[in-house]
Each structure stands twice: as C-alpha cells, then as structure tokens.
Amino acid sequence: MAMRTASDFDHLGPFLSKQHPEFLKIFEAIDELPIDDAHCHLVTDREPIMTSTRFLERMSLAAMDTVPAYFPAGVYDQWLGADERIRYELNAKYGIQQKIDGIIGDISQSIFVKFLVKEMAQFLGCEPNLEAVMEARNARSKNYWSYVSSLLQDVRYKNVMVDTGYCEGASRAEIDRYEEGILPCRMNRLARIEMIQKELFPLEITFDEYEQRYTTRLLDLLDGTGNYGKKSYGMKSYLLPYIGLIEPLYDREIARASWQALRASYHNIPTMDRQSEYNLSKDLRRYNFTLALEECLRRDMPMQIHTGDGEAPSVILRNQDPFYLEEVCRFDRDGVMRMPKIIPLHAGYPSVGKAAWLSHLYPNCYFELSIMTPFVHQNLFQRYMQVMEVVPLSKILYASDAFHVPELYWLSGRWGKRYLAKALTEYVVGGSLDFDEAIEGARMILYKNNRSLYALD
C-alpha cells in the first residue's frame, strides 16, 4: 500500500497528526478491517430525537439507572411522559429537574463527553459543541435506521452478538426492526439465564415443575426459537453482581430448599434490601447457572459472565471481582476440571489486570473488551497494553456493550481500532511484533476470535 502522511488522516482529527509514522501505516491497515461485536445490546426506534440532557443520561452508566432510583417508583417515568403542568407539579414536589441538571452537569464535564463531542462533530460535519452535535444528530436520526446503519458501516460492523436479556422490554416487532435495520451487519442472539428466572420466579409451582420448566425453556432458547423467534449462539449470566463468588451447585435438594424459601418469602421481596433479596435465591441461582453451563459445555458454546463494571444502583460492586469466576472456569466434577468456554465481560473493569490474569492462567477463559471500550476513551491505549501483556491475541475479543443509543457502537469501533493500532504500534516499534503479526493480531481481536468461538459462518 502507498505510504500515507498524517494529512491523509485529517478527517480523524488532530490526534493522528502527532503520531509515529509506523502508527499511520498500522492504523491504515486496521481501519479497513471488519468488526464483530462480541457483546452488545439492541437499540430501539422509540426515541429517535433527544435533547442533549436526555442523550447524556441514556449513555452514561452514572445516570441511566440511578436517575429513576432517586425518586419513588414510577415518578420519573411519569415525569418523562408528562405535559408541562404535571411536570411543574412533580418538580415542585420532588425537585426532579434540579437533580437531573446536577447529575448531567457533572457528566458533561467528563473528558469522555468532551472527546465524544469532538469525534461526533467530525462524523456529522458540524461545530464541535454539544448543542450543534445534537442538532446535527437529530436531523440525521429522524430517519432512524438509516442513521444507525451509517454509524455501523462507518466502522465496518459485520456481526453483533446481542444479549437480548437487556432490551428494555422490546417487543418482537421492535427486535425485528432492529435486525432488519442494521443490515448488512448480522444480529446473532445470546440468551441470558436471568430471562428464564424472571419468567419463572413469580410462579406458585413445585420445585419439580420449576426445574422441568426451566430446562424446557433453556433448551428452547438454545436450540429452538425461544430467543425472540430464533436460536441463541451463546449464553450470558448476570449472577456475579448478585452473589459474588460463584460455586457450581449440583445438589438438587439444596436447590429445592432454596426454591421453597423463595416461595415462602416472595411477597416480602419489595421491602428487602438488595443483599437479602439476592441471598434468598442464591442457591437456586447457582443451580440454574450450573445446569446452563452444562448445556454450554455439551455444545462447546461460550458462557459470557458479567464481571466488573457498575450499573449502579442495583448491582453490588464489591461482588464483581474477576477472581470470583475461578471455580466456574474450573467447573470441577469428580476431580476433573472440565473447562467450559468462559468469557468474563467488561474487561473486568476496573479490575482489568485480574481479568487478564485469569485469562492467562485458564486456557478456557477469554478476555472481552466492552465497557472499558469506549468509556475509558484515550486511555484505552494503556488498557490495551495491559491486556496484551499477558493475554494471548487469540483470546481477546472486541466488544462495545452498546446500549440505548447507537452512537456507542460507533464510538467503540472508532476508538477500539485507533487505540488498538496505537498499542500494537508500541509492540512493533519495541521489536516484539513485526508489522504482519500486529495486523494479524488486530484481525483476531476485531473479528476472527469471535467467529471461531461462536462457530459463525
């Protein structure tokens, strides 16, 4: 390929003009590569146009679930949909607008948002300030799916592995519109264990019936059409933030006792604190997890497990240590480690080094880059260096965990490629990798590892 100069990359902003010539060569090759997103969520066309405040609320982990939790149940949703008079009354009673302004005010002062605004301004061809970016964005997103598709195609998305267990109650029709709207990028579904538990936990049935229904639903999600009309390519568990250390449970009688305890106290759950609520069904959840992991093992299918990250205020942060997954990676039975394929999610962030070390030690444990990508923005360079210091290139998976707004896919892809190129350049300049090895490493991380793990064609 012809050697480029920094000015050929003007459209990507001032960042590139200051880079090493070797970087430009590596970046040019990596920028052309396709992307598979190993873990993300769908977006819906419910809210194509947004104010800047709403946009920042929807994309920020510090606001998305915390804002409603500051008010009595249902009040925030009522406020969102209310006319001006009702809003005025609710504001007088709960100070809603004032609280949002405080939270979003801080978020808008983060380097992440300041950088995001500059990046989006380049993509949209507008002034680099938040209001101009939102105006340009809203003009494009009126034609919602064409806008979403333009974002995905700009960074060359080819496959998205979508965890349908978090989709804000999207209907089958909304999911179909997403699947169609993102074409030619292909949607592949992942099934979340908690989807089944949510359906079955409220039912007044015996443990035997519960167990039978759980298994039927699990098999339909995996092999049938149980995941919104289609099969699943893999599974996802959200157990770690609820209980911390996950120890597999094979004993049906312990699970039965846990089911009975859940039945006896089910009506008290709304008044329980979160730790007591999760403790109540802990053994049942461990048993469900174990059954699901057995099915994954049988199919040589990976299990993604939520690790690190936040999602305040419902999750318990101290439970999310990546080392709490060691017993799951081992999956010992009868004195043998059975090595199901485990993908700890979100880079274990902020415990990135522990997640990396777990993947280094256990051959069946992989490393996934989402949440950290894109939220640590420019510092992705250092983080990718930290990951690659111990995790083999064949075990690292690009992912975004994009949710709520489509810009998160784009930002992750854009920054993911750029800072991966920067980290790989460091290894080329340092002599650890030659150019071809660096590009092949990027291919593995950006799409090859995902395709081989999920046996995609």
- Judged by CB, which is closer to Zn ion: 161, or 329? 161
- Judged by CB, which is closer to Zn ion: 61, or 261? 61
- Asked whether 187 and 160 are in contact (CB, 8 A), the reply is yes
Give the residue, chosen from 309, 401, 407, 426, that forms a contact with Zn ion under the rule CB under 5 A.
401
Where are any strands of DSSP class E within 133-273? 157-163, 186-192, 234-237
Q: Look at residues 51, 60, 47, 97 and name the one whose alpha carbon lies nearest to residue 76.
A: 97
The stretch near Zn ion (CB under 5 A) out of 125-133, 220-228, 291-299, 395-403 is: 395-403
**Strands, sheet with 234-237, edge to edge from the N-terminal-most edge strand:** 35-40, 157-163, 186-192, 234-237, 303-305, 342-344
Q: To the nearest whole angstrom, how small is the minimum distance from the Cβ of residue 110 to Zn ion?
A: 21
Q: Which residues contact 228 (CB under 8 A, 6 or more apart)?
A: 164, 172, 175, 189
The stretch near Zn ion (CB under 5 A) out of 8-16, 83-91, 253-261, 398-406 is: 398-406
The DSSP code for 336 is B
The separation between the first and the last C-alpha atoms of the chain, rounded to the nearest angstrom, is: 29
Q: At what angle do helices 193-200 and 207-222 cross, to 10 degrees?
A: 140
Q: To the nearest whole angstrom, how small is the minimum distance from the Cβ of residue 44 to Zn ion?
A: 16
- Judged by CB, which is closer to Zn ion: 236, or 417? 236
At residue 89's C-alpha, the angle toward residues 83 and 95, to 5°, is: 110
- Asked whether 178 and 222 are in contact (CB, 8 A), the reply is no
Q: To the nearest whole angstrom, how small is the minimum distance from the Cβ of residue 310 to Zn ion?
A: 12
- Judged by CB, which is closer to Zn ion: 179, or 401? 401
Site for Zn ion in 36-65 (CB under 5 A): none
Q: To the nearest whole angstrom, how small is the minimum distance from the Cβ of residue 151 to Zn ion?
A: 18
Q: Check binding of 321 to Zn ion (CB under 5 A).
A: no
Q: To the nearest whole angstrom, how small is the minimum distance from the Cβ of residue 328 to Zn ion?
A: 18
Q: Is 230 buried (19+), middle (13-18) or exposed (0-12) by CB count in 10 A?
A: middle
Q: To the nearest whole angstrom, how small is the minimum distance from the Cβ of residue 190 to Zn ion?
A: 9
- Judged by CB, which is closer to Zn ion: 167, or 421? 167
- Judged by CB, which is closer to Zn ion: 237, or 425? 237
Q: Which residues contact 220 (CB under 8 A, 6 or more apart)?
A: 226
- Judged by CB, which is closer to Zn ion: 248, or 310? 310
Q: To the nearest whole angstrom, how small is the minimum distance from the Cβ of residue 163 to Zn ion?
A: 5
Which amino acid belongs to residue 284?
Answer: L
How many residues bind Zn ion (CB under 5 A)? The answer is: 1
Q: To the nearest whole angstrom, how small is the minimum distance from the Cβ of residue 194 to Zn ion?
A: 12
- Judged by CB, which is closer to Zn ion: 246, or 424? 246
- Judged by CB, which is closer to Zn ion: 368, or 401? 401
The stretch near Zn ion (CB under 5 A) out of 53-61, 197-205, 227-235, 394-402 is: 394-402
Q: To the nearest whole angstrom, how small is the minimum distance from the Cβ of residue 39 to Zn ion?
A: 6
The stretch near Zn ion (CB under 5 A) out of 107-115, 194-202, 349-357, 401-409 is: 401-409
- Asked whether 31 and 155 are in contact (CB, 8 A), the reply is no
Distances (CA, A) of 333 to 137, 243, 247, 330, 339: 53, 21, 12, 9, 11
Q: Which residue's Cβ lies closest to Zn ion? A: 401
- Asked whether 366 and 342 are in contact (CB, 8 A), the reply is yes
- Judged by CB, which is closer to Zn ion: 280, or 296? 296
Q: To the nearest whole angstrom, how small is the minimum distance from the Cβ of residue 373 to Zn ion?
A: 12
Q: Is 344 buried (19+), middle (13-18) or exposed (0-12) by CB count in 10 A?
A: buried
Q: To the nearest whole angstrom, how small is the minimum distance from the Cβ of residue 22 to Zn ion?
A: 35
Q: Which residues contact 133 (CB under 8 A, 6 or more apart)?
A: 117, 120, 121, 124, 126, 127
**Distance (Å, whole) CA 190 – CA 227:** 8
**Distance (Å, whole) CA 139 – CA 146:** 12
Residue 270, token pair as written in the block: 């709304």
The interface mask with Zn ion, positions 354-393, x = CB under 5 A, is ----------------------------------------
Q: How far is CA 51 from the centre of its chain?
A: 24
- Judged by CB, which is closer to Zn ion: 321, or 401? 401
The interface mask with Zn ion, positions 92-111, x = CB under 5 A, is --------------------
The stretch near Zn ion (CB under 5 A) out of 8-16, 129-137, 208-216, 397-405 is: 397-405
- The residue ranges that bind Zn ion (CB under 5 A) are 401
